[in-house]
Amino acid sequence: MRKAAEPLDLTERLPILAGGREVSHLAVRYAAPAQGRPDLPCFLYLHGFGSDQTGEKADHFRRRALEAGFAFCSFDFQGHGRSGGALRDLTLTRNLDDIARVHAWLGTRGHERLFLLGSSMGGAAALWYSTLQPASIVAGLHIAPALEMEKGLLTWAGPERVRRWEETGLLFFQNDFVATDLAWGLVEDLRAYRLDDLLERYRTPALLLQSRRDASVPWRGVADFATRCAAEDVELHLFADGDHRLTDRKDRLWDLMLEFLRGRHLL
């Protein structure tokens, strides 16, 4: 039995069922301080494309959250880390379904209200999930949200490979972090989530943290979202240097997040 003074930290295998049988699963890690405040929202960390929940930022934010009295949860999207599913079958819809499953699981632990903390692909998914579930997401705190993933993939591939991708249904993608086949269904699915719709419908307070030297997510697109979004409380912090991941300034990122939340009386 866990001693009263010890923090809770557990990893669970969350099954995904279809037709009464398990077809995949999510690897979920939940941690809560021994003397935490149950009235505070739980942080839910959403990793980037080709990454997982064991990354440097996730571990750092988990530790800082627990020190500050927050519960913290992370998981691997399907096709990533220790979760089931294939990366080749990645879609935004699947990611949103994964978030919903973990959100429901957290609800059984008393965490209906969440702070979403997304990185890159996870940041874009978080913005869409907040749009779909505005009552339960208190705020979004996102590092280089990949708002134009379709455009980035098509630009990377070029016209000829895009044509073959659509014809064959598969394209081999490779960058510094991941090498995988991707199904054309990813592009078709992303086209169902129009950026103009997100700009019009998004309403959750959000802090966007972005580097001008990001080689993966163009900073102008993130700045344009912050400027044009119909929500009244979307703030952009633009770093003059740093890379896509911004792992070299984890403490600064955390401080900016708490400053944002406190400034809006969300804590």
pLDDT over 90, % of the chain = 91
Q: Give CA–CA dist 205/243, Å, rounded.
A: 25
Here the tokens at position 164 are 């073959």
Q: For residue 236, what are the β-bridge partners?
A: 208
Give me the mean pLDDT over the 50-75 stretch.
Answer: 95
Provide the whole-model pTM: 0.95
Here the tokens at position 89 are 């079958």
Here the tokens at position 91 are 């879609």
pLDDT band at 89 (very low <50, low <70, confident <90, very high): very high
**How does pLDDT run across 195-205, given as a tens digit for each residue?**
999 999 999 99
> What pLDDT score does 5 carry?
57
Q: Give CA–CA dist 7/201, Å, rounded.
A: 38
Interacting residues of 73 by C-beta distance below 8 A, sequence separation 6+: 28, 29, 30, 31, 42, 43, 44, 45, 102, 106, 111
Query: Has residue 9 got a pLDDT over 90?
Result: no
Here the tokens at position 251 are 């403490």
Domain positions in the chain are 8-149+196-263
**How does pLDDT run across 98-153, given as a tens digit for each residue?**
999 999 999 999 999 999 999 999 999 999 999 999 999 999 999 999 999 999 99
Here the tokens at position 231 are 């929500």
For tokens 């079958």, name the residue. 89
pLDDT band at 37 (very low <50, low <70, confident <90, very high): confident
Query: Has residue 8 got a pLDDT over 90?
Result: no
Listed residue (31, 96, 99) closest to 60, CA to CA: 31
DSSP H helical ranges for the chain = 56-67, 92-107, 121-132, 149-168, 185-190, 195-201, 219-228, 250-263
> Helices (H) and strands (E) in the chain — how many of each?
8, 10
Using DSSP, state whether 34 is helix, strand or coil.
coil
Query: Has residue 2 got a pLDDT over 90?
Result: no
Q: Give CA–CA dist 126/122, Å, rounded.
A: 6
> What pLDDT score does 7 carry?
77
- Helices 92-107 and 121-132 cross at an angle (nearest 10°) of 60
Superfamily of segment(s) 8-149+196-263: Alpha/Beta hydrolase fold, catalytic domain (3.40.50.1820)
Task: Give CA separation, 3 vs 6, 35, 66, 177, 225, in Å.
Answer: 5, 12, 17, 40, 47
Strands 42-46 and 21-32, sheet pairing = unpaired
For tokens 């691997």, name the residue. 76
> What pLDDT score does 36 carry?
73
Complete edge-to-edge strand list for the sheet that includes strand 114-119: 8-18, 21-32, 72-75, 42-46, 114-119, 137-143, 206-211, 234-239
**How does pLDDT run across 212-267, given as a tens digit for each residue?**
999 999 999 999 999 999 999 999 999 999 999 899 999 999 999 999 999 999 98
- Helices 250-263 and 56-67 cross at an angle (nearest 10°) of 50
